[in-house]
């Protein structure tokens, strides 16, 4: 599967109804983003309420606007759905509003950086055999995100998990390894 396209029905992997259908996903953490949205919203209301009775009202209105924007960003993060979906066919990642997908056979390796401590996010990075066609077909705004990912993580296609995003299965390496089967290596980054 290439970027922004779905597989034709004839090429889709057919799953035997008697077998166990496995899918692994990483979604934004509802609890963390919900708490941040509510907290930022309350702080924004507090700053806005106090701004009209204060000589520094303009600064308080600016602070209220900043916290309101934070509340909206956190609320939106709860509604975007999955950030990564892996199944028996391949992996799909959401970068901004674009889905980027590839088959297991087109992946050089998947590396998983586990969480090192409770306030740290881990990361799943997908290293493609030939990233040119996938990255070249992206809109420029999405390409800027993938370029930043490459500078920070060594891979253009990477998503976090841990505090801000929750995997559907706690054993990330094992779940991805089982889905990839022997088509590409999945390893833990140390």
- Interatomic CA distance for residues 47 and 50, integer angstroms: 5
Report the percentage of the chain scoring pLDDT > 70: 82
The pLDDT of residue 3 is above 60: no
Q: Which residue has the higher pLDDT, 60 or 163?
A: 60
Strands 90-95 and 98-103 turn out to be: antiparallel
Three-class DSSP category at 84:
strand
Rounded Cα distance between 23 and 64, Å, is 41
Please give the mean pLDDT across all residues of the chain: 77
Q: How far apart are the C-alpha atoms of 45 and 61, rounded to whole Å?
A: 10
Beta-sheet strand order (sheet of 122-128): 157-161, 122-128, 107-113, 186-189
User: Residue 1 pLDDT more than 60?
Assistant: no
pLDDT attached to residue 21: 52
Checking if the pLDDT of 96 tops 50, the result is: yes
Place of tokens 């602070």: 63
**What would the DSSP string read from start to end of 137-178?**
TS-HHHHHHHHHHHHHHS-SEEEEESSSEEESSS-HHHHHHH
Query: What does the pLDDT average to over 144-168?
Result: 79
Task: Categorize the per-residue pLDDT at 11 as very low, low, confident or very high, splitting at 50, 70 and 90.
Answer: very low
Higher-scoring residue by pLDDT: 26, 13: 26
Phi-psi region of 86 (alpha: psi -120 to 50; beta: other; left: phi over 0): beta
pLDDT at 52: 67
Greater pLDDT, 181 or 7 = 181
Q: Strands, E, within 90-129: which ranges?
A: 90-95, 98-103, 107-113, 122-128
How does pLDDT run across 104-146, given as a tens digit for each residue?
998 999 988 887 777 777 888 888 888 888 878 888 888 888 8
Report whether pLDDT(8) > 80. no
Could you tell me the pTM of the whole model? 0.65
Q: What's the pLDDT score for residue 50?
A: 78
Domain ranges of the chain: 30-79, 87-189
Mean pLDDT, residues 7-15: 37
């Amino acid at each position: 599967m290439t970027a922004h396209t779905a597989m034709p029905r004839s090429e889709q992997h057919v799953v035997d109804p008697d077998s166990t259908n496995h899918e692994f996903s990483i979604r934004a953490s509802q609890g963390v983003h919900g708490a941040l949205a509510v907290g930022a919203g309350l702080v924004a209301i507090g700053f806005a309420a106090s701004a009209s009775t204060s000589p520094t009202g303009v600064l308080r209105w600016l602070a209220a606007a900043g916290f309101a924007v934070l509340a909206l960003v956190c609320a939106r993060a709860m509604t975007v759905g999955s950030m990564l979906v892996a199944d028996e066919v391949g992996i799909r990642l959401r970068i901004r509003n674009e889905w980027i997908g590839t088959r297991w056979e087109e992946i050089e390796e998947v590396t998983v950086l586990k969480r090192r401590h409770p306030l740290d996010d881990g990361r799943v990075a997908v290293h493609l055999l030939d990233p040119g066609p996938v990255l070249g077909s992206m809109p420029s705004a999405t390409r800027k995100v993938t370029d930043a990912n490459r500078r920070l993580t060594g891979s253009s296609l990477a998503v976090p998990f841990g505090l801000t995003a929750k995997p559907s299965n706690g054993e990330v390496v094992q779940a991805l390894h089982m889905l990839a089967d022997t088509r590409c290596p999945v390893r833990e980054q140390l």
